[in-house]
Amino acid sequence: MKKRALLLLALTPFLLTQCGDGSKGGDSSSSNSLTIGFAQAGAESAWRTAETESITREAEQRGVTLKFSDAQGKQENQIKAVRGFIAQGVDAIILAPIVETGWEPVLKEAQRAEIPVVLVDRGVQVSDDGLYATLIASDFVAEGQMAADWLAKKTGGKANIIELQGTPGAAPAIDRKKGFEQGIAAHPEMKIIASQSGDFRRSQGKEVMEALVKAHPNLTAVYAHNDDMALGAIQALEAAGKKPGTDVLVVSIDGVKDAFIAMKDGQLNCTVECNPLLGPNAFDAVEKAVAGETLPKKTVVQDRLFEASQAAAELPNRQY
Ligand code: GZL
């Protein structure tokens, strides 16, 4: 009994560094290094998993102790996580906000505690942008516009489109819709005949498309706000006897590996890359913010568009 107690005592510092409060990284030799809280939105898509891995990997490489929280798609969980990080006195917080609104109170709490917040991948709507240090994200309006331009070119400006939206209230869902609508505005014969949320999830993309393909058998194109929903929709279209990639053109956003495989297989026509490998940029920003430097309010991550014809050559290069 005594021996066990002694062993536990000896192990305690190790256990606290490695596992305490959901800690993912850390290293006992870097006790002087930063402790960062990462409030992740969830694990709804391959993109999100790649983002989590990038941030976790970067923390390990820099000897940062990372406290990780997965909000499982619920803003209330994410707010709780941020409050928890503030209570623990972390050096900074990385936040991937699920939705745009509702952040003001907790960001003010972080500000009062003098804990900088670095936003990654999604923006927030607040009355004072001094409530966060910086935002590192793609230009979602431009992504939607790129998808629309591609579809307009491919169809000669004529399409019956079903849109699968991301999580309601999320910056990429709002802006990808806006960008796409702006892109098709000049083409009166490009119409969105139905538009529904699939919450950025493959299973919901499939479910939603199962119903929509029955209600709108005249569809000629699908625009999905992310690849996972497009991949789910492809399954539903096939089950309904359609040929995705041929008689229904499918365009989506993210550029994950499975999308390249689907393009190679001729089921997906186009994906607009949205780079999730934000770890290096996020920690550069964290280090500067902790050092008291003023950062630009937004760093835009550059995206590219890929068509099916490029898929086979590009597939081996994909990192996520
Ligand atoms: C993009 C991001 C989106 C991805 C989705 O920055 O917030 O969330 O496009 C993801 O795949 O779930």
Query: Which domains are seen in the chain, by residue range?
Result: 2-137+276-300 (3.40.50.2300), 140-275+306-317 (3.40.50.2300)
| Strand-strand pairing, 249-254 and 65-70 | unpaired
Give the SS3 label for residue 256.
coil
Nearest residue CA, atom 3 of ligand 1? Answer: 172
Of all atoms in ligand 1, which is nearest to the CA of residue 46?
A: 11
Determine the distance separating the centroid of ligand 1 and the alpha carbon of 191, expressed in angstroms: 25
- Please tell me the distance between residue 205's alpha carbon and the centre of ligand 1 in angstroms: 14
Asked whether the CA dihedral 136, 139, 140, 146 is positive or negative, the reply is: negative
For residues 238 and 244, the answer to whether their CB atoms sit within 8 Å is yes
Cα–Cα distance, 248 to 269 (Å, whole number): 9
Q: Which one-letter DSSP state was computed for residue 302? A: P
Residue ranges lining ligand 1, Cβ < 6 Å: 44-45, 47-48, 121-122, 137-138, 172, 200, 226, 253-254, 274
Q: Separation of 291 CA from ligand 1 center, angstroms?
A: 29
In order along its 320 residues, the chain shows pLDDT tens digits of: 333 333 333 333 333 333 333 344 333 333 348 999 999 999 999 999 999 999 999 999 999 999 999 999 999 999 999 999 999 999 999 999 999 999 999 999 999 999 999 999 999 999 999 999 999 999 999 999 999 999 999 999 999 999 999 999 999 999 999 999 999 999 999 999 999 999 999 999 999 999 999 999 999 999 999 999 999 999 999 999 999 999 999 999 999 999 999 999 999 999 999 999 999 999 999 999 999 999 999 999 999 999 999 999 999 999 99
Give me ligand 1 centre to Cα 11, in Å: 39
